[in-house]
């Protein structure tokens, strides 16, 4: 989060191209909206779009997505189930020890131990409450500027893929080159890369 409370400095991006069909975007927002994580499916993570103002709201209309004429505001919600490895190891050791005692001292095979670990992990996942993380997104459709309020590599990669699938346009990190591409066009911006270095101090002035 951060777009509405100013608690985080966002990553800046440039949107390459423009959205031509907003009706399609609204359909894709609904298709890619967040869905609750169901531990019984074996999944450990769920992600999707939610409202900028309410992480539990997944109904979208243009009036709730647009903030003014050119500003789109959304949030990416990511729910995760995490079993602490160290805790799992402790309980696995205890469980295996009890099973060996019950079997008259006969040790378990490697495959049997792995099965016990998987069963313990699955049991824990069914009991856990998902951890909720929300990352705000602000997109200025007229200037092509975009801000993502998250910095973890996984969150950024998830966002970039989901944004492309939803809006049909790719996103590039904001830089002098993307600024030039926005102002001059891609072909002329590419020409800038071929320019030779310019010296502003002559050899005789050094």
Q: What is the DSSP string of 110-125?
A: HHHHHHHHHHHHHHHH
Query: Does residue 69 sit within a domain?
Result: yes
Q: Are residues 90 and 176 in the same domain?
A: no
CA atoms of 100 and 108, how far apart (whole Å): 7
| DSSP classification of residue 175 | -
Query: Does residue 90 sit within a domain?
Result: yes
Q: Are residues 27 and 74 in the same domain?
A: yes
Q: Please give the angle made by the CA atoms of 154, 156 and 158, to the nearest 5 degrees.
A: 70
Q: Are residues 58 and 154 in the same domain?
A: yes
CA atoms of 107 and 64, how far apart (whole Å): 61
Query: Does residue 198 sit within a domain?
Result: no
Q: Are residues 105 and 75 in the same domain?
A: no
Q: Are residues 107 and 72 in the same domain?
A: no
Q: Are residues 107 and 188 in the same domain?
A: no
CA atoms of 179 and 129, how far apart (whole Å): 43
Q: Are residues 95 and 180 in the same domain?
A: no
134, β-bridge pairs:
77
Query: Does residue 203 sit within a domain?
Result: no
Residues in CB range of 119: below 8 A, 6 or more apart: none
Query: Does residue 2 sit within a domain?
Result: no
Q: Are residues 155 and 174 in the same domain?
A: yes
The model's pLDDT over 71-114, given as tens digits with 9 standing for 90+, comes to 999 999 999 998 888 988 998 899 999 998 888 888 888 999 99
CA atoms of 29 and 36, how far apart (whole Å): 16
- The range of the structural domain enclosing residue 94 comes to 85-126
CA atoms of 77 and 49, how far apart (whole Å): 6
Q: Are residues 171 and 142 in the same domain?
A: yes
- Report the number of distinct structural domains present in the chain: 2
Q: What is the mean pLDDT of residues 166-185?
A: 68
Does pLDDT of 132 surpass 50? yes
Query: Does residue 167 sit within a domain?
Result: yes
User: Which is higher by pLDDT, 6 or 92?
Assistant: 92
CA atoms of 52 and 65, how far apart (whole Å): 8
Q: Are residues 122 and 143 in the same domain?
A: no
Does pLDDT of 45 surpass 80? yes
Task: Provide the pairing of β-strand 71-80 with 131-140.
Answer: antiparallel
CA atoms of 71 and 138, how far apart (whole Å): 7
Q: Are residues 62 and 141 in the same domain?
A: yes
């Amino acid at each position: 989060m951060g777009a509405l409370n100013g608690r985080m400095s966002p990553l800046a991006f440039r949107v390459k191209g423009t959205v031509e069909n907003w009706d399609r975007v609204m359909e894709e927002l609904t298709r890619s909206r967040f869905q609750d994580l169901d531990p019984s499916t074996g999944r450990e993570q769920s992600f999707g779009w939610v409202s900028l103002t309410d992480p539990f709201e997944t109904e979208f209309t243009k009036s709730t997505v647009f903030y003014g004429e050119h500003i789109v505001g959304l949030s990416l919600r990511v729910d995760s189930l995490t079993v602490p490895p160290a805790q799992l190891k402790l309980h696995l050791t205890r469980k295996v020890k009890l099973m060996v005692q019950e079997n008259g001292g006969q040790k378990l095979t490697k495959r049997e131990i792995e099965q016990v670990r998987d069963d313990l992990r699955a049991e824990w996942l069914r009991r856990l409450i998902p951890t909720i993380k929300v990352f705000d997104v602000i997109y200025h459709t007229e200037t092509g500027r975009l801000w993502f309020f998250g910095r973890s590599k996984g969150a950024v990669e998830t966002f970039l893929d989901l944004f492309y699938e939803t809006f049909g346009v790719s996103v590039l990190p904001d830089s002098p080159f993307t600024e030039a591409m926005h102002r001059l066009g891609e072909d002329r911006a590419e020409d800038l890369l071929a320019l030779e270095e310019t010296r502003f101090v002559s050899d005789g002035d050094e």
